[in-house]
Structure 1
Amino acid sequence: MRRVCNYFSFLLLNYCAFPDNDRVIVGRTHAKNEFEVIHQWHFLNYTWPTSLTYNYAFNNIHYIPENNAPTGIKIYGGKIFLSIPRFRPGIPATLAYVSMIDGGTRTNELLQPYPNWELNINRNCEALQSVQSMEIDRQGYMWVIDGVRINEETQCPAKLLILDLKNHGRMVHRHIFPNEIALAKGGFLNDLVLDDVGGGYAYITDNSAIDPGLIVYSLKKDRSWKLRDPRMFAEPQAADFIVNGIPTTNLSPIDGIALSPSRHNKEKELFFCALTGLNLYSIDTSVLRNESMSRSDQWRKRINLIGQKESQSDGLIIDSSGNLYYTLLPLNGIGRWNIKTPIATSEIIFKNDKTMIWPDTFAMDEKGYLYVISNNINQFINPNFKVVITDEVKFRIFRYFTGTKSYMY
């Protein structure tokens, strides 16, 4: 009956909210520091312009409900922005948002394509094609990396768009990555951080199985270059881990990325790790911004091995106090380590084997909250895994009070 309700709800442009008895359990925390679920979904649906638009998309498999899954998350202006990469067919919008809420948990909230449907048209190289992540700078500009190119859903080159959130998402800049930087077929721009020095830089991880590496983009020069090193590759000894009963056997390279906050007279550090890996590395950003050095072997000597995390990780983020938060995939949890201390002082601050299934990406707001999305994405990225709509909550957004802001402050 619930399955029927799911599909008839689409025709009504509404949704069915099923009761969720999952309880978030947090140890060693007090009330305001609990990881609370503020949004959850059994499946994703959108605010369609008309019922005719919806019916056409549904009947012509432009919208396949069970194939939609969110990955990236960012917060700005009372909105929670989400990316929905086109890992599978039937994804009508790859960038969308829902509204922030003051209390309680919202279930199956409809997503609003951002900035509009037109910029989300599939197979149109002028539009967003497959977005894994994005970042928002202090001026209210969203930097969007449109570079998931691991299937036949698009043949467009990878690109970076900058959208003005204070002006209804108006596009103010576009950079097309050369194929030798980000492959139009086989590239996987995964995550990014922003550095406000020198006119603005973005540091981007390319999780490509063919050509992994770390991409540097200079807004002032409107130019990008790429650094490649074996320490950005997958670590075979960290392969074959299990998340929610599903083995992960792919050797996935550089993925997580985090930037240290500004410090007077001290260069910022960029931290990175492979998804299939335990080691955490860092490098001074002055090295990354030196394009001529990137063409030599000298920059590789500046990579520092920090140490090992408790398990394999996907997303990373550093707050304004230097706390690095990282996801712990097979442990269904979140870790924290202050970068001013030895990594041995790291701790697991949250674990839940029922609700924190594949914690993916982080975000922070200006009110002192950290957000993380869990999304079972290992089911969706594997084309051979059959995904169906059930009573199970597949996607959750957690919020956790830290009293700090992001690395940009």
Structure 2
Amino acid sequence: MRVATRLFLSVAILSACFATKRCPRAEKFNVILQWTHLNYTWRSPEEYEMAVSTGRYVPLNNAPTGIKIYKNTLFISVPRFRPGVPATLASVEAKSLNPLLVPFPSWEMSDESKCTNLQSVQSMEIDSKGTMWVLDGARINGYSKCPAKLLLFDLTDGAGLLRTYTFSNEISLQDGGFLNDLVIDETDGEFAYATDNSQIDPGLIVYSRSRNKAWKLRDASMYPQEGASRFEVNGKILDSFLPLDGIALSPKSERGSRRVYYCAMGALNLYSIPTKVLKDSKLIESGNWRRHIVKVGQKLAQSDGLVIDNEGSMFYTLLPYNGVARWSTNSSLWSSEIIDQNKETMVWPDGFAFDESGYIYLITNYIYNFIDPLAEVEKDGRILFRVHRYRTGTKSYLFT
């Protein structure tokens, strides 16, 4: 089916949702946290005043992207897409409006003047053992030229740093790389699969913890799709190179096998590949791995975040439609259903997280305005960032 036809049908389905099973259900994503701007738990009033006066902290330039939950603590990432972001990873105080951010793991490690510290974090994941895997690899707009890296923190023992793996420039560019999202595979050793949304060198990165080694896969399926790379969000037309972005990992099957699902942002197509293929670095080097890629089908719209729960349901964002869809990975992708939409509160639905009590969380953030250094962000009291919660009764893909 032609992409243009598919897009037309998607719009028709969304417009007439009440006549189909794809209409949003009665349950909604409830907003539990929201911000007009981000601020932090400064160590003193003097430090805050100095940060503002020197440009170390520019309130309008701070925007959250990644979200994860460990026990009762919520973590968010704040990439340094613009100057004036004092901490790129933080935990959040329990407050509904403008909760303050607590730099993680410390103010000292948030100092970007040292490449060993956190530079610009787009996303992270927390495994079943309480280890946070942090992708420090947003290297766009020129605010950090340090090598991209993956850091592992032990949340069960005072957030101690367990390991830092620095990616070579051949795997993730120091200038122009964009490590976007990752999933953790705890079968057959520990692996991380991460998307590089770089406009120069997009691809899927595999990291083996036991071997302390990484490799990268590049394929045409990771590039924007003709006819789908141009779409509108909140009145703004996005028509740039939008490559590999979303990634999700299936729960273990009865045979222990798993699949990684991925998509380019400027595309409707969803693809998958077996994890056993990704783990075989020799097969990757041969180039024969590409014959294992499966085109799953076409989503209802372009997406940013993807996630799969422990029962095999994928949740994916609908960027042009300010919403979220759900799809059972055991059925056709055409069976996707919209579970919520809101043009006021769900502008740019971004990343997901699960807690241990049967809820999925979503962060929405107008992030397209912050990535673009030429876009003007006005401080007019509007709520720009929200954390939403939705009852699923399930847990993360990690708990299978």
TM tier, shorter chain? Answer: over 0.9
Shift of the 28–154 alpha-carbon distance from structure 1 to 2, 3 Å rule, reads closer
Match of 1:249?
239
Match of 2:187?
197
- How many angstroms does 1:235 deviate by? 1.4
Match of 1:67?
61
Deviations 1:168-203 (A, max 9, x none): 211011100011011111100000000002320000
CA distance in 1, matches of 2:268, 2:254: 31
Report if the CA contact (8 A) 1:148-1:189 is conserved: yes
Match of 1:53?
47
Match of 1:175?
165
Match of 1:92?
86
Report if the CA contact (8 A) 2:134-2:152 is conserved: yes
Shift of the 401–100 alpha-carbon distance from structure 1 to 2, 3 Å rule, reads farther
Partner SS, residue 330 of structure 2 = coil
CA distance in 2, matches of 1:184, 1:43: 29
Does 2:344 align with 1:350?
A: no
CA distance in 2, matches of 1:200, 1:273: 23
Match of 1:120?
110
Does 2:254 align with 1:260?
A: no
Q: 2:30 corresponds to which letter in structure 1?
A: E
- How many angstroms does 1:124 deviate by? 1.3
Report if the CA contact (8 A) 2:93-2:101 is conserved: no
Deviations 1:306-351 (A, max 9, x none): 1001110000000011000000000000000000011111111101
Partner SS, residue 108 of structure 1 = coil
Partner SS, residue 232 of structure 2 = strand
- How many angstroms does 1:297 deviate by? 2.2
Partner SS, residue 231 of structure 1 = helix
2:177 counterpart (180, 183, 187): 187
Match of 2:4?
none
Unaligned runs of 5+ in 1: 1-26
- How many angstroms does 1:222 deviate by? 0.3
CA distance in 1, matches of 2:240, 2:108: 35
Match of 1:110?
100
Partner SS, residue 321 of structure 2 = coil
Does 2:393 align with 1:403?
A: yes
Match of 1:146?
136
Report if the CA contact (8 A) 1:203-1:214 is conserved: yes
CA distance in 1, matches of 2:62, 2:204: 28
CA distance in 2, matches of 1:99, 1:368: 21
Does 2:168 align with 1:164?
A: no
1:208 counterpart (188, 198, 204): 198
- How many angstroms does 1:28 deviate by? 5.0
> Equivalent pairs: percent with the same residue?
51
CA distance in 2, matches of 1:274, 1:302: 18
Deviations 1:267-322 (A, max 9, x none): 10100000000000000000000000101221000000010011100000000110
Partner SS, residue 168 of structure 2 = coil
Does 2:299 align with 1:303?
A: no
Report if the CA contact (8 A) 2:93-2:102 is conserved: no
Partner SS, residue 58 of structure 1 = helix
Match of 1:332?
322
Report if the CA contact (8 A) 1:321-1:404 is conserved: yes
Partner SS, residue 205 of structure 1 = strand
Report if the CA contact (8 A) 1:369-1:404 is conserved: yes
Q: 2:288 corresponds to which letter in structure 1?
A: Q
CA distance in 2, matches of 1:214, 1:156: 20
CA distance in 1, matches of 2:176, 2:241: 15
Which deviates the most, 231-240 or 130-139? 231-240
Q: 2:49 corresponds to which letter in structure 1?
A: N
CA distance in 2, matches of 1:266, 1:117: 41
2:73 counterpart (63, 79, 91): 79
Unaligned runs of 5+ in 2: 1-22
Q: 1:363 corresponds to which letter in structure 2?
A: A
Q: CA RMSD in A?
A: 1.2
CA distance in 1, matches of 2:112, 2:38: 17
CA distance in 2, matches of 1:72, 1:156: 21
Stretches (4+) displaced over 3 A = 27-30
CA distance in 1, matches of 2:25, 2:99: 29
Give the count of matched residue pairs: 378
Report if the CA contact (8 A) 1:271-1:281 is conserved: yes
- Counterparts of 1:320-399 in structure 2 under 5 Å? 320-399=310-389
1:217 counterpart (199, 207, 219): 207
- How many angstroms does 1:234 deviate by? 1.1
- How many angstroms does 1:111 deviate by? 0.6
